Amino acid sequence: MTNTVIDPHILERAKVWLEGDYDEETKAKVKDLMENDPKELTDAFYTNLEFGTGGLRGVMGVGTNRMNKYTVGAATQGLANYLKKMFPGREQIKIAVAFDSRRNNTFFAGITADVMSANGIKVFLFDDMRPTPELSFAIRHLHCQAGVVITASHNPPEYNGYKAYWEDGGQLINPHDKNVIGEVLKIRNISEIKFKRNDSLVEIIGAEIDKEYISRVKGLSLSPESIRKHSDLKIVYTPIHGTGAKLVPEGLKAYGFKNVFNVPEQDIPDGNFPTVKSPNPEEPAALNMAIEKAKQVNASLVLATDPDADRVGVAVLNDKNEFILLNGNQTATLLLYYLLTKWKENGKLTGREFTIKTVVTSEILRDISVKSGVEYFDTLTGFKYIAEIIRQNEGKKQYIGGGEESYGFLIGDFVRDKDAVSACCMIAECAAWAAEKGKKLYELLPEIYLQYGFYKERLASITRKGKEGAEEIKKMMETYRSDPPKAINGSAVIMIKDYLRQMTFDLEKHTEEKISLPKSDVLQFFLMDGGKISVRPSGTEPKIKYYFSVREDFTDIKKFDEMNAFLDKRIDAIIKDLGL
């Protein structure tokens, strides 16, 4: 027995799992932690998993703060109880359930189906792994009241998650997310969780949903003539061991692209993600194998999706014929510029359209929308907020597209979450459109900057794991609020937006203004020189994130590299000044 003293509160929480009606394997693991690993015991039991911007997500293992049969069972029972309260007159409440390629994927999806059906709720369960956006589509297509996908997106292999969706196909938002947690917290004993499946209420779905979904993705196409002329465009695609392996190539084929190459080693579904350090397409190394493949086959475009195929990373050839990675802001810029240009050319703009971006995403998306005469919305980080705006405007205005800097994009509204399948198809179409103009996709960026100014962004993260890490991140945010910087890199802070206090502080005019968005632990510092620094704890990972944005007027396309380097140095100086 270790001599480390364990917090009595945590010990009591763990003892419940030893004395309750838990399976013997679980009890043995809890006992081992109590005797041999007090730190892991503390992390496993110090709190309950809660819904964040991505739902329920955590390390797999025993404990109240871990993904396991009982936490998933309790979340599902709580969701089932809430559904019954919200739809009391419904003859048959329905839910769709999907899963990605992670470890314990079918186990957790099965537990979800067990508990839902045991509560008299009809379950549409996918026959195999599917992209998260297809789950969102299925909810609406099958007229479900909710949905669940088992995924931890791009988190490390030890993680899994439980994303819950409402009847509009969007992730749970306030008050539903908090109310579901409230129902979960009411469950005092695991005997209250109904684990016995009702087979008559579980229906397996698959190919028929794929067909409908791909049909809707194809319907987004705006330049079929450009694709016909450049159908031989060489594209390399990798799902990074995830769910995009089937539907992204199918989508590209439906669009008319004939030269799509895969990376065979990464087509294999594997929750250990053996060929990459991280399955996150935001990480440059995740695209290494795909870029090597592109060099072998002389491709000009590389696309990579994360395990649940809701985020996409892009690599393109630059003017020196070298592959470079686009960041999320650059991809969003190209997509939105293309969408609005084609909507205008095709006579589709009526004055009732709108776009959406998150507050930490590049302001160039705002500029492109405004110049195009299209209304835009800013919202908090998390696609559930984008889905909420689409829902609020349904029947009144038409959503065109939008997204967030973290590689998540959505075109059209038949899905209500970020969708890498449709994004991959639209990025490829944009490349064909550029080719029709005799340009590489990358060459569109300098042309856009000539019109809107040269925007440069970068993301930096600091990881702090466990209970101690969470407390440290909380302290960092408190310090930024109590003692905010007066200047950053020699440029005065002229405005602070505090989304937790829901206030904007104009330091030049000495005025305050209410922010209408929901409360969120986000701070933004706006600088005299046009810079913007956003700080927020991640809702899905043990990180504090810093978003840096700088801008300069741009008038000479020949000086693209020079301006790019200049703005990079400015961001470097900001990071150094902040002591990161």
Distance CA 388, CA 464 (A): 31
Q: Give yes or no: residues 281 and 237 share one domain.
A: yes
Is 61 inside a domain boundary?
yes
Is 500 inside a domain boundary?
yes
pLDDT above 70 coverage of the chain, percent? 98
What pLDDT does 7 receive?
Answer: 87
Q: Which residue do the tokens 């792994």 mark?
A: 129
What pLDDT does 174 receive?
Answer: 85
Q: Distance from CA of residue 206 to its chain's centroid? A: 23
CATH code where residue 328 lies: 3.40.120.10
Helix pair angle (24-36, 38-45), 10° resolution: 130
Ranges of H-type helices in 87-126: 105-118
Residue 546 clears pLDDT 50, i.e. is over it: yes
Average of per-residue pLDDT values in the chain? 94
Is 27 inside a domain boundary?
no
Q: Give yes or no: residues 418 and 487 share one domain.
A: no
What pLDDT does 502 receive?
Answer: 97
Banded pLDDT at 4 (limits 50, 70, 90): low
Q: Give yes or no: residues 144 and 278 share one domain.
A: no
Is 18 inside a domain boundary?
no
Q: Which of 164, 407, 131 is nearest to 269 (CA)?
A: 131
Distance CA 453, CA 447 (A): 10
Report the SS3 class of residue 182: helix
Could you say which of 415, 436, 452 is where a domain stops? 452
- Mark whether 422 is an active-site residue: no
Residue 541 clears pLDDT 80, i.e. is over it: no
What pLDDT does 6 receive?
Answer: 84
Q: Give yes or no: residues 303 and 275 share one domain.
A: yes
Distance CA 168, CA 30 (A): 39
Is 411 inside a domain boundary?
yes
CATH code where residue 500 lies: 3.30.310
Marked catalytic residue, from 153, 300, 406, 534: 153
Distance CA 11, CA 372 (A): 60
Q: Give yes or no: residues 199 and 277 share one domain.
A: no
Q: Give yes or no: residues 265 and 358 share one domain.
A: yes
Of the listed ranges 111-120, 152-161, 458-467, 470-479, the least confidently predicted one is 458-467
Q: Give yes or no: residues 416 and 480 share one domain.
A: no
Residue 1 clears pLDDT 90, i.e. is over it: no
Which residues constitute the domain of residue 529? 454-577
Tokens matching residue 188: 């005092």
Residue 156 clears pLDDT 70, i.e. is over it: yes
What pLDDT does 52 receive?
Answer: 56
Of the listed ranges 176-180, 287-291, 531-535, the least confidently predicted one is 176-180
Give the mean model confidence (pLDDT) for residues 323-345.
Answer: 97
DSSP code per residue over 412-444: SSSS-S--HHHHHHHHHHHHHHHHHTT--GGGH
Q: Which residue do the tokens 């995924």 mark?
A: 151
Q: Distance from CA of residue 173 to its chain's centroid? A: 15
Task: Specify the higher pLDDT residue, 540 or 327.
Answer: 327
pLDDT digits (tens, 9 = 90+) for 14-61: 999 998 889 999 999 999 999 999 999 999 999 887 765 456 889 999
Q: Give yes or no: residues 267 and 164 share one domain.
A: no
Is 298 inside a domain boundary?
yes
Host H or E run for residue 455? strand 454-463
Banded pLDDT at 155 (limits 50, 70, 90): confident
Could you say which of 406, 435, 452 is where a domain stops? 452
Q: Give yes or no: residues 167 and 124 share one domain.
A: yes
Q: Are 380 and 371 in contact (CB under 8 A)?
A: no
Banded pLDDT at 106 (limits 50, 70, 90): very high
Of the listed ranges 5-14, 85-94, 199-208, 397-406, the least confidently predicted one is 5-14
What pLDDT does 469 receive?
Answer: 85
Could you say which of 420, 452, 484 is where a domain stops? 452
Q: Indicate the number of domains in the chain.
A: 3
C-alpha to C-alpha distances, 45 to 5, 31, 67, 240, 500, nearest whole angstrom: 15, 13, 12, 32, 27
Q: Give yes or no: residues 181 and 315 share one domain.
A: no
Is 38 inside a domain boundary?
no
Q: Give yes or no: residues 139 and 260 share one domain.
A: no
Q: What is the pTM for the complete model shown?
A: 0.93
Between CA 437 and CA 56, with CA 328 as vertex, the angle to 5 degrees is 140
The amino acid at residue 129 is: M
By CB neighbour count within 10 A (0-12 exposed, 13-18 middle, 19+ buried), where does 215 fall? exposed
Banded pLDDT at 3 (limits 50, 70, 90): low
Distance CA 358, CA 404 (A): 6
Q: Give yes or no: residues 199 and 226 share one domain.
A: no
Is 5 inside a domain boundary?
no
Q: Which of 4, 74, 73 is nearest to 42 (CA)?
A: 4
